[in-house]
Structure 1
């Protein structure tokens, strides 16, 4: 009887796991079930483009069925409600599934750090639907300004200056002149803030690249408030620790992630912010039949002593590794401990501008860096055998 492998989540980690496993495991010895709440795979790294209105939804949506066609992978479109690792069962909203091996790739949740009003009065950008909501809201702000002349409608705040925050504020900086022209509004009426509690933006990038990013964005109207935490959010107001208050109808929060609550509730061992601790083979501690990967898990970089950031690059590598590990489990093969191979870091700064650290020593900026980022997306699409419509 074939062993059943259930994979929860068809993001970068989960989808790659299913495809990698099917390269070797046959339908006779392995049943592969992929559970996802949508029938499409989201290119989460492109959501900043959708949220600002620079590209359409189709540019970040990949239908799953064509990708898994003829690969003997069963897609179940459903919501995961709970995991019982002791009984080896997963409860979905419509059914229950038993498993021989489980891969949890459910992604992370937003961390609000207990800041009063932040969750209730901010936008987040973790899905196509949320990007669509943000885009519609921004267009409405410009339309309403004609009638109210309320300057808070044209004041936009991005909280957090990591990858997501900087890429979004870069898209905003390019998009605002277009919206101003479409709505016959002077560009100097728009205010664009990037608020960061840490002492600098883009942690992990070299100083020269950080300065290049700041210069590019500042020249396009972004005002950085660095080392200034948000302490409270009310409707129409963002309160800062230095006592300043920004009157705005738009706060987008990108300032942190925490573990998925389903993983926490299942009783897996987690670190303080809820991401699961795993062994060197990405298995949940105490459960050799459960792999937890992607943003749901917590692994330490032995060279720095710090956790690896939750990135699509690492999630995809985890998927490849776990696909191989599962085949080794099924056939009694050996495993090599998982070690991420960081090929580089690229942050876009809007249309046709970016900064990149490639390998350990090479840096790139401007249009070339932007092209490198675009090529990394194309490599990923080739890896999963997908095509997307042009935006």
Structure 2
């Protein structure tokens, strides 16, 4: 009987899982289906560049129809709302269901509002549609002040690109923690980024969280009120709302707990990769980064291939980006970026060029262009080598 493999979510993890599956003879006779609620792959880390016109939508996207034809898989546009672990079915909002023998969940994440009143009236900084909406609003009416709620990696990137596009004294960034980029836990990196943003004309408010949103105003916990032409929400993400008919272990904001082999804990034929999962590593955990999702998607696919051949899944994911030893490339506008590699810091144009190069390499692979796959594999090998 033909085995059915369903991949939910065509982001970094999903794409590279599909690619590995289709490169193996073991999955040649399988029915492989990709399900995504969008009609295209989007390179999420590049989205802030849309605001400063450094990249176009075509630069950072690829239709799933093209990807699926090239890889020889089926594509269904639909939103997954549930998984029947008893019956091995994926449930779509349309009422349809898809049977599976093996399932790879790579559905990413969604915006987290933390129950803050009025927060859902803001513009999130997570999906392509959000950025296009913000871009339209900025073009229709030049703003007095754009307020960015959240000073993490995405918030800083959005604030920097907006400052470059709109000019001085037009952007405000608000962070509840004492420093920008709090997840990096690197005081020097935070100070470098804050200083650059301030010099670039961005107003930085730290140590004061958002209490509620009213019309175009941010009411902060201190009682301070910010009048905003537009509010961009960059305060965090959570796992997508997918229901299960059997208990599954979750962590934090709904992240699915997985084994070292990336199998959903307690279920041999279901994998979870990328942002949707919680990957514990000793007393640490993997960061939610594109490169992590890529490597996890490849590992999960290799384990499925072993199962198709009647063998045990033995491939274990070894994370490169760990919460206790943060590594990142974060752009700050004006063709500048900061690279944090554990204790090492580099700021300026070189990290920015490196970031743009990495993103163009991966997109070249996603678009099926010559040399893209080789370059992406080389990048992963280099990252593993320098990470020890």
Give the TM interval when normalised to the shorter protein.
Answer: 0.7 to 0.9
1:38 matched residue in structure 2: 38
**Larger relative contact order, structure 1 or 2 (CA cutoff 8 Å, min sep 6):** 1
Deviation at 1:70, TM superposition (A): 4.6
Contact 1:82 1:266 in 2 (8 A): no
1:106 matched residue in structure 2: 107
1:295 matched residue in structure 2: 275
Alignment of 1:373 onto 2:363: no
Deviates most, 244-253 or 265-274: 265-274
Secondary structure at 1:38 match in 2: coil
1:322 matched residue in structure 2: 300
Deviation at 1:46, TM superposition (A): 0.9
1:181 matched residue in structure 2: none
Contact 2:160 2:331 in 1 (8 A): yes
Name the CA shift for 1:38/1:266 in 2 (closer, same or farther; >3 Å).
farther
Secondary structure at 1:106 match in 2: coil
1:180 matched residue in structure 2: none
Distance in 1 between residues matched to 2:290 and 2:154, nearest whole Å: 12
Secondary structure at 2:6 match in 1: strand
2:248 matched residue in structure 1: 268
Distance in 1 between residues matched to 2:246 and 2:216, nearest whole Å: 38
2:231 matched residue in structure 1: 251
After TM superposition, the score normalised by the length of structure 2 is 0.87
2:24 matched residue in structure 1: 24
After TM superposition, the score normalised by the length of structure 1 is 0.86
Contact 1:13 1:294 in 2 (8 A): yes
1:194-343 matches, within 5 Å, as 194-202=173-181, 203-204=183-184, 206-263=186-243, 267-302=247-282, 305-331=283-309, 332-342=311-321
What is the total number of aligned residue pairs between the two structures? 363
Equivalent position to 1:357, from 340, 343, 346: 340
Secondary structure at 1:349 match in 2: strand
Distance in 2 between residues matched to 1:55 and 1:266, nearest whole Å: 43
Distance in 2 between residues matched to 1:263 and 1:312, nearest whole Å: 25
Name the CA shift for 1:264/1:204 in 2 (closer, same or farther; >3 Å).
farther
Q: CA offsets, 1:270-323, max 9 Å, x none?
A: 124111111111111221111111111112343xx3443322121111111111
Q: Structure 1: give runs of 5+ residues left out of the alignment.
A: 143-152, 178-186
Contact 2:18 2:71 in 1 (8 A): no
Name the CA shift for 1:263/1:364 in 2 (closer, same or farther; >3 Å).
farther
Name the CA shift for 1:22/1:95 in 2 (closer, same or farther; >3 Å).
same
Distance in 2 between residues matched to 1:338 and 1:306, nearest whole Å: 14
Distance in 1 between residues matched to 2:70 and 2:224, nearest whole Å: 58
Q: CA offsets, 1:129-187, max 9 Å, x none?
A: 11100111122231xxxxxxxxxx4111111111100000010110013xxxxxxxxx5
Distance in 2 between residues matched to 1:111 and 1:80, nearest whole Å: 19
Secondary structure at 2:123 match in 1: coil
1:149-188 matches, within 5 Å, as 153-177=143-167
Q: CA offsets, 1:47-97, max 9 Å, x none?
A: 112245543222221123433435321112222232111110112226321
Deviates most, 104-113 or 342-351: 342-351
1:346 matched residue in structure 2: 329
Deviation at 1:366, TM superposition (A): 1.0
Q: CA offsets, 1:19-62, max 9 Å, x none?
A: 11111144544221111223310011111122455432222211
1:78 matched residue in structure 2: 78
Contact 1:62 1:386 in 2 (8 A): no
Q: Structure 2: give runs of 5+ residues left out of the alignment.
A: 371-388
Deviation at 1:361, TM superposition (A): 5.3
Distance in 1 between residues matched to 2:360 and 2:36, nearest whole Å: 23
